[in-house]
A and B are shown apart, each in its own frame.
Chain A
Amino acid sequence: MTNSTEPKFYSTDDLPPVNDSGVARAAHDRIMARHLLATLRNASGKTLVDVAKNRGVTKAAIHQLENRPLTKVSVGSLVSYIQALGYPIDEDWVARTIVEALPTPTAV
């Protein structure tokens, strides 16, 4: 880290491109899986601590479960997986939550 006396700034477009689209895609998919779980947990009004308490396990155990690798899964399988973790959800609720969590399109 250097502290330049004359600060320079760039656009995010000036950052390097990804090297391997397969690696990038896999990373993106894992981030989105975690985003979905965190969004569902937040929308249900539960914290990680709440979930752990309800399940009678440690916060780290829930965190580990939420981070379990899921590769190519359908939304239906994902819902089943989340329900197996103990989240009381239904498909309608998931659909509404996902739509509400979508970012507002930004003007370009």
Chain B
Amino acid sequence: MVNDHVSLQFKSAAERLANERPDLWDGIAMTVEYLRQFRRHAVAPDVRWGIAQSIFGSNCGEIRWPDPEVQEKYLDDAWRGLFVAHPDEDWYVFTVLGNKATDGNRWYDRAVPISDAVVRAAIAKLHLRPLRPE
């Protein structure tokens, strides 16, 4: 049985977006669903596997929105949703959702350590099958 979990931060950011920018949330929601459906077979560029800054390395990834076809409408938006997946597909934890448009790649310097901490907390609190850092 597959268990997917969402952090409070991810859920709160999603709720804000859904209220304030519903069209943006609709795209992100579809990307989350795409990842949940295809898991490790999600090879479209809307999902990127392997976040070098994360201690979970290849098991850490991000969903990306808006896509290139609608980016022109959203010049100030580059939303990223970090997640970590157990290599045996036991669980996914969606950790941090944010807009990296302003900070560029510096966004990862702040977000990834939080994401890593959220995963460690989820493993402990939800008694998830452990995942060793790479």
Residues of A within 8 A of B (CB): 1-4, 7-12, 14-20, 23-24, 27-28, 30-32, 34-35, 38-39, 42, 63-64, 67, 69, 101, 103, 106-108
Q: Judge whether B23 and A20 touch: CB under 8 Å.
A: yes
Q: What's the Cα separation between A27 and B23 when bound, in Å?
A: 10
Known: A2-B9, A7-B8, A107-B2. A27 touches B122 (CB 8 A): no
Q: Judge whether A16 and B18 touch: CB under 8 Å.
A: yes
Q: Judge whether A23 and B23 touch: CB under 8 Å.
A: yes
Q: Judge whether B22 and A20 touch: CB under 8 Å.
A: yes
Contact of A10 among B2, B8, B118 (CB under 8 A): B8
- For the A-B complex with A10-B11, A16-B25, A20-B26 known, give 6 more contacts whose Cβ atoms are closer than 8 Å: A7-B118, A9-B7, A19-B26, A27-B30, A34-B67, A38-B44
Number of B interface residues, CB 8 Å?
50
Residues of B within 8 A of A (CB): 1-2, 4-9, 11, 14-15, 17-18, 22-23, 25-27, 29-34, 36-39, 41-46, 67-69, 93-94, 96, 98, 110-111, 114, 117-118, 121-122, 125-126
Q: Judge whether B44 and A34 touch: CB under 8 Å.
A: yes
Contact of B121 among A7, A19, A24 (CB under 8 A): A7
Distance (Å) between the CB of A52 and the closest chain B CB?
Answer: 15
Residues of chain B within 8 A of A4, CB atoms compared: 8-9
Query: Could you list 15 examples of A-B contacts with CB < 8 Å?
Result: A1-B111, A11-B4, A15-B6, A15-B11, A15-B32, A16-B14, A17-B18, A17-B29, A19-B22, A19-B23, A31-B34, A34-B44, A34-B46, A38-B43, A101-B41
The 3 closest A-B pairs by CB, nearest first: A19-B22, A16-B18, A7-B121
